[in-house]
Amino acid sequence: MADSVYSNYPPHLNPAQKEFLVRTIKDWTVQHGLMIRPASTFISKESDPQGVVATSAPVTLFPSPFPKSCFEEAQALQTVYNRLYAAITCDEQWIGDIMEDLIDVDDFISHLWKVHLAVKEEGYAQSLSLGLYRSDYMPHVPSASTPPSLKQVEFNTISSSFGGLSCLVASLHTELLNSPPGHPIAYPSHPLLDSNQPPENTSVETLSAGLAAAHTAYGASKSSPALPTCILFVVQENERNVFDQLALSRQLTKVHKVPVFRLLSSEVFDHTHIPVSNPSRPLIYRPPHADGVEFEVTTVYLRCFYTPTDYKSERDWEARTHLERSAAIKCPTVLNQLAGCKVVQQVLAEDNGPDHLAKFLAGTDPTTIARLRATFAPQHDLSSSGRGRELALNPATAANHVLKPQREGGGNNIYKEAIPEFLRSLPETEWKRWILMELIQPPAEAQNVALRPDGEVLSGHVIGELGIYGTILWDQAGGKVLHNEQGGWLMRTKAKDVNEGGVATGFSSLDSVVLY
């Protein structure tokens, strides 16, 4: 079934059709802010010394087909996944046991853990914790005769990106499907496109509502006299994906009427402080552009600090600690970030040993837990006793696997036949930094056409990855959930011979879906 859907999709474009679609999309992206800042390899610093030009985000010309059952299952499970990761984050002991093994070999995880321990020793000033998550999936189609099943690629607990742009891609494809009004001809006719459209995509609304819920839950200023409150987006320098983030701050400002400021991670100490005299440890932000004005930060939203390169020196670790020990609600806390390590997914997926899911989702009906468990792809650590090592070192079995590092961010996976040689190039003591995961087999015939940020148009076989956004606000002390929502999604599509999926790095494209 799946194969027959993909084999003649997308419809063929003659040169005039392609020219029309590409030009229309190039203009639409600018008009609607579906943009990124260009890479310096495309528009050099010399060409644009003031950094004023922008370019189209990478987008597909067509929405991609996606199995309706898988899409709906992913949406249905999101609030359960939210609860699962909140519950894991509440179980510091459990996370600590898992991290223990990694601390010796993974500097990054070790550093994060130390931040947690330091703040724990002083005592956390804020027990509320906010998660803005994205659970990424592929439809798994091992053979033409089996119906597609939903398999999780990864679960992101920090800096889950593209929610600000993914809804725009859905709008773009929806408009093309209906253009011009009454007599749609922007796309060549195709059974999958005729009277079909991408499902509603509320990514901006959902993610912003999560941040707004935290802002409200923070309550009154803890300063005396009381200060106005704000949300602080802590961001990377030279962020090319800035318009994705600004979509959330615009929604917070316009709809929720919440002040939002952006602060470079390198300038945390320049513009924020925690008054020594105030035991509540409010985080005070002083906007550099307004002398003498102070805001109290209710919520720190991290769009940085998720990758080792975000910590250039000890000062950056101190900045992270400074935010962590403040009374601001963190999105995420260090513990919640650690809960997103691949090793956690791998431990959850283990099919022998304790039933972690049942424990963390106590009170959830077993059928739902089983459905969630069914989204796990088989995955293994590389301990000397386990099956993982055997599967990874044998070229025949390695061919069906991907080797993933613990941390977020993309760009570091090792695929298939490259795995044995890669592992042998590392000391065995470092192997535990990696997780071996059985490759998900997405529809083999899927194709699409993509407009790249440099204006090139590429077409060919592709692999699509669906992300579902969810937000949860909970109390670490006791685990009470104050807000738990799912809403909005991301389709990312990459050329099949490209193994990585980080859109901002230019390998893959933002897409949307038509369900079948």
CB closer to a second copy, 54 vs 274 = 54
Verify binding: residue 68, a second copy, rule CB under 8 A: no
Of 2, 5, 35, 74, which one interacts with a second copy (CB under 8 A)? 35
- Is 134 considered catalytic here? yes
Q: Measured from the CB atom, is 225 or 353 closer to a second copy?
A: 225
- Check residue 180 for interaction with a second copy (CB under 8 A): yes
Does position 250 interact with a second copy (CB under 8 A)? The reply is: yes
Residue 159 assigned to a binding site:
yes
413 assigned binding-site residue? yes
Instruction: Look up tokens 């990514």; give the residue.
Output: 203
Residue 428 sits in the site that holds a second copy (CB under 8 A): no
Q: Which of 3, 11, 32, 278 binds a second copy (CB under 8 A)?
A: 32
Is residue 494 marked as binding?
yes
First-to-final CA distance of the chain: 10
Q: How far apart are CA 343 and CA 350, in angstroms?
A: 11
Q: Is 424 in the site for a second copy (CB under 8 A)?
A: no
Q: Which is nearer to a second copy, 226 or 370 (CB)?
A: 226
Residue 305 binds a second copy, judged by CB under 8 A: no
Is residue 428 part of the annotated active site? The answer reads no
Which sign, positive or negative, has the C-alpha torsion 304, 465, 251, 473? negative
> Does residue 151 have a known ligand-binding role?
no
Q: 104 to each of 108, 113, 267, 280, how far by Cα in Å? A: 10, 11, 30, 34
Contact yes or no for 284/200 (Cβ under 8 A): no
> Residue written as tokens 């897409």?
511
* Choice from 125, 170, 242, 274 touching a second copy (CB under 8 A): 242
**Is 342 known as a binding-site position?**
yes
What residues have CB less than 8 Å from 102, skipping those under 6 apart? 109, 110, 341, 343, 406, 432, 433
Is 158 or 258 the residue whose CB approaches a second copy more closely? 258
Where b means 16+ CB within 10 Å and e means fewer, 151-187 reads bbbbbbbbbbbbbbbbbbbbbbbbbbbeeeeeebebb
Does 26 help bind a second copy (rule: CB under 8 A)? yes
161 is a catalytic site residue: yes
Q: Which of 40, 179, 280, 505 binds a second copy (CB under 8 A)?
A: 179
Q: Which amino acid is at 290?
A: A
With beta carbons less than 8 A apart as the criterion, state whether 168 and 33 touch.
yes
Q: Rounded to an integer, what distance in angstroms lies between the CA atom of residue 276 and that of residue 281?
A: 8
Please check if 115 is assigned to a binding site.
Answer: no
- Please give the structure tokens belonging to residue 43: 């528009």
Is residue 57 part of the contact set for a second copy (CB under 8 A)? no
Give the binding range for a second copy (CB under 8 A) out of 53-61, 212-220, 459-467, 485-493: 53-61
Does 20 participate in binding a second copy (rule CB under 8 A)? yes
How many whole angstroms separate alpha carbon 263 and alpha carbon 149? 41
- The reply, when asked if residue 417 is annotated as ligand binding, is no
The yes-or-no answer on residue 404 being catalytic is yes
Q: Is 459 in the site for a second copy (CB under 8 A)?
A: no
Phi and psi at residue 350, to the nearest 5°: -55, 130
Q: With CB under 8 A, what is the number of residues at the site for a second copy?
A: 57
CA distance 450 to 512: 12
Secondary structure (3-state) at 143: coil
- 412 among annotated binding-site residues: yes
Among residues 56, 23, 62, 18, which one has the least CA distance to residue 37? Answer: 56
- Interaction of residue 238 with a second copy, rule CB under 8 A: no
State how far the Cα of 418 lies from the Cα of 406, in Å rounded to an integer. 18
Among 288, 354, 366, 460, contact with a second copy (rule: CB under 8 A): 288
Interface ranges with a second copy (CB under 8 A): 16-17, 19-21, 26-27, 30-33, 35, 38, 42-44, 47-56, 179-183, 185-186, 228, 230, 242-243, 246-247, 250, 253, 257-261, 287-290, 293, 295, 451, 453-456
State the binding site: 134, 154, 156, 158-161, 239-241, 245, 303-306, 342, 404-413, 415, 437-440, 465, 492, 494, 500, 503-504
Annotated catalytic residues are 134, 154, 156, 161, 342, 404, 408-409, 492
